Amino acid sequence: MFYHLTRSPAEALVPSLIGKSRAAGWRVELRGTDAARMARLDELLWQAEGFLPHGLAGGPHDAWQPVLLTTGGTGIGADCVITLDGAAVDPAECAPAQRVCIVFDGNDPAAVEAARAQWRALSAAGVGAEYWSEADGTWDRKA
């Protein structure tokens, strides 16, 4: 699922995606490319309404975390992988996952191009993809 942000930052969407995934009983990997951003998201999730239990990768209890924030694939067997900032997703990760969410900033031309490249690569590998946009003020499935 590709989430095209145009009105709000990823920090507004990510807690909702994690909350829905946890409500489904899924283990989540939140994957980014920048350690400082992941640390900010760590702080945000501690303060989120409805508390979202999680941890930053690299700790002694990574294997036990219901939500693991990382800057690289962990191999923890997450049911849901959420990526930010163009973090890579291997097509082989998609088959065993219940959901893969690629969140990108539609106001950043480089992020849009990176998401398009991911769409092409995943589609070419036979992964079904959905495109969601918030352009109209609510999240709508476009394709």
CA-based Rg of the chain, rounded to a whole angstrom? 14
Going along the chain from its start, the domains and CATH numbers come out as 2-141 (3.40.50.10110)
37-77, pLDDT tens digit by residue?
999 999 888 886 667 889 899 888 888 899 999 998 766 77
Backbone phi, psi, residue 121, to 5° = -65, -45
Overall pTM > 0.85: yes
